[in-house]
């Protein structure tokens, strides 16, 4: 089947397991929850979840209920946290599957309690505090000095449900706004606000066994923020969340994804021939161009027009002209090439090929976006034994 698609993403599951090992070491006594949302950042949900567990992850984290149930359907029974549910979602399947639903609001606690009562079980849940990200989570900062917070209300409601026996609050957590800038003042302020939020929860009688705050960047740069668990995503896949602080290699991380495509045509064109839509590129002399059959529908950013780095026969080159929906062109000069040439888009970088970070730099984004948007027409192929 996969030969019917001209590009592929090879994912090294041993790299995933290795990276979890690196993160475990960084986390000290804290456990690792490997974040596998968004199809494991484009690397493949189930295989990467298994590899992360094989590498020593104690738990998995996802954003959406569908992702959580997909893991359970695959037979993965590890502790699993799901933090983005919409009002109106029937949480019973999640409670039944022993997925820990994260509550950011009162409605979530109501819904999870209703599901637990209907099933006749105690739902294990976690509570999410907004300690200053200004996104998901119950707001844990007072609107005015001394004012009662949304967080205080949420923990009180949760404590009442615990007393009734319908929920058990296993964890409390929050998320950083600026962990990628370790010296930013909000990093410290959020750590303090999280300590206050934990104290509020414990003051209400909750005894959360896992308290966690650190994403990849904080796991790698802010040791004091690890609490009982860290929650890295990007670094699990071997990419650096803080390219200005350290490369993947500096942290001992191994990029797990390598994307290659087989070109479909090589041809000589004359001097001045515009290449691809809008003729944004025109060689000044006769040259050879190759047609690479992946485009923005496959997650190659259109912003990579003229700049996206590739490697052909060991040589670093760039996309020539515009990225189209299904293809882009590369001027290879007088390089001897065949029609069906292997083109490396990105990989670990060990053989001079571009990395996902190089792509991010070239198009002005973050490596998260490069890997997670690689599309369905790029079949994932797995190498490595971890988790199989």
Cβ-contact 384, 55 below 8 angstroms:
no
Task: Please report whether residue 79 would count as binding ligand PLP according to CB under 6 A.
Answer: no
Q: Of 12 and 180, which has the nearer Cβ to ligand PLP?
A: 180
Which candidate in 37, 41, 128, 237 is catalytic?
Answer: 37
H-helix or E-strand spanning residue 47: helix 45-54
Task: Please report whether residue 367 would count as binding ligand PLP according to CB under 6 A.
Answer: no
Write the CA distances from 386 to 54, 68, 80, 352, integer angstroms.
Answer: 6, 21, 19, 26
Cβ-contact 104, 138 below 8 angstroms:
yes
Residue 62, beta-bridge partner list: 82
Residue 290 backbone zone (phi > 0: left; psi -120 to 50: alpha; other: beta): beta
Which candidate in 223, 277, 296, 368 is catalytic?
Answer: 277
Candidate segments 147-155, 228-236, 247-255, 299-307, binder of ligand PLP by CB under 6 A: 228-236
- The binding track of 17-56 with respect to ligand PLP, each residue x by CB under 6 A or -, is ------------------x-x-------------------
Q: Of 53 and 344, which has the nearer Cβ to ligand PLP?
A: 53
**3-class DSSP state of 8:** strand
CA 99-133-370 angle, to 5 degrees, is: 75
Residue 261 backbone zone (phi > 0: left; psi -120 to 50: alpha; other: beta): beta
Which residues between 266 and 295 bind ligand PLP (CB under 6 A)?
none
Task: Please report whether residue 254 would count as binding ligand PLP according to CB under 6 A.
Answer: no
Burial 342-362 (b: 16+ CB within 10 A, else e): ebbbbbbbeeebbbbbbbbbb
In the list 42, 233, 354, 384, the residue contacting ligand PLP (rule: CB under 6 A) is 233
Candidate segments 190-198, 233-241, 304-312, 355-363, binder of ligand PLP by CB under 6 A: 233-241
Report how far residue 37's alpha carbon sits from residue 43's, in angstroms, rounded to the nearest whole number. 10
What is the nearest approach in angstroms of ligand PLP to the Cβ of residue 239?
9
In the list 19, 131, 200, 215, the residue contacting ligand PLP (rule: CB under 6 A) is 215
In the list 6, 42, 65, 232, the residue contacting ligand PLP (rule: CB under 6 A) is 232
Task: Please report whether residue 234 would count as binding ligand PLP according to CB under 6 A.
Answer: yes
| 277 given a catalytic annotation | yes
Binding region for ligand PLP (CB under 6 A): 35, 37, 83, 175, 215-217, 231-234, 241
Residues labelled as active-site residues? 37, 277
């Amino acid at each position: 089947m996969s030969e019917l698609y001209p590009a592929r993403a090879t994912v090294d599951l041993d790299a995933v397991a290795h990276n979890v090992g690196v993160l475990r070491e960084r986390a000290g006594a804290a456990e690792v929850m490997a974040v596998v949302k968004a199809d494991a950042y484009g690397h493949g949900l189930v295989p990467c979840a298994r590899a992360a567990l094989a590498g020593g992850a104690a738990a998995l984290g996802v954003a959406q209920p569908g992702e959580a149930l997909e893991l359970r359907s695959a037979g993965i029974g590890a502790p699993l946290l799901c933090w983005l549910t919409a009002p109106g979602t029937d949480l019973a399947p999640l409670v039944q599957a022993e997925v820990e639903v994260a509550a950011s609001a009162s409605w979530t606690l109501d819904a999870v309690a209703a599901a637990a009562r209907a099933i006749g079980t105690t739902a294990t849940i976690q509570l999410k505090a907004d300690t200053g990200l200004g996104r998901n989570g119950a707001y844990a900062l007072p609107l005015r000095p001394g004012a009662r917070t949304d967080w205080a209300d949420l923990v009180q409601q949760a404590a009442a449900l615990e007393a009734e026996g319908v929920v058990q609050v296993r964890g409390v957590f929050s998320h950083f706004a600026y962990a990628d800038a370790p010296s930013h003042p909000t990093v410290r302020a959020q750590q303090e606000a999280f300590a206050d939020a934990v104290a509020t929860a414990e003051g209400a009688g909750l005894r959360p066994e896992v308290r966690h705050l650190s994403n990849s960047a904080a796991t790698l740069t802010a040791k004091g923020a690890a609490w009982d668990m860290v929650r890295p995503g990007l670094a699990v896949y071997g990419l650096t969340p803080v390219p200005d602080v350290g490369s993947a290699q500096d942290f001992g991380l191994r990029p797990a994804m390598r994307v290659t495509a087989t070109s479909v045509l090589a041809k000589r064109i004359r001097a001045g021939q515009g290449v691809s839509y809008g003729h944004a590129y025109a060689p000044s002399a006769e040259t050879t161009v190759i047609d690479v059959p992946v485009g923005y529908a496959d997650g190659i950013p259109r912003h990579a027009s003229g700049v996206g780095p590739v490697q052909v026969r060991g040589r670093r080159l760039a996309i020539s002209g515009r990225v189209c929906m299904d293809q882009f062109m590369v001027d290879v000069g007088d390089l001897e090439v065949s029609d069906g040439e292997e083109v490396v888009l990105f990989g670990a970088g060990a053989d001079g090929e571009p990395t996902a970070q190089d792509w991010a730099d070239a198009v002005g984004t973050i490596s998260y976006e490069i890997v997670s948007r690689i599309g369905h027409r790029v079949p994932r192929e797995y190498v490595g034994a971890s988790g199989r």
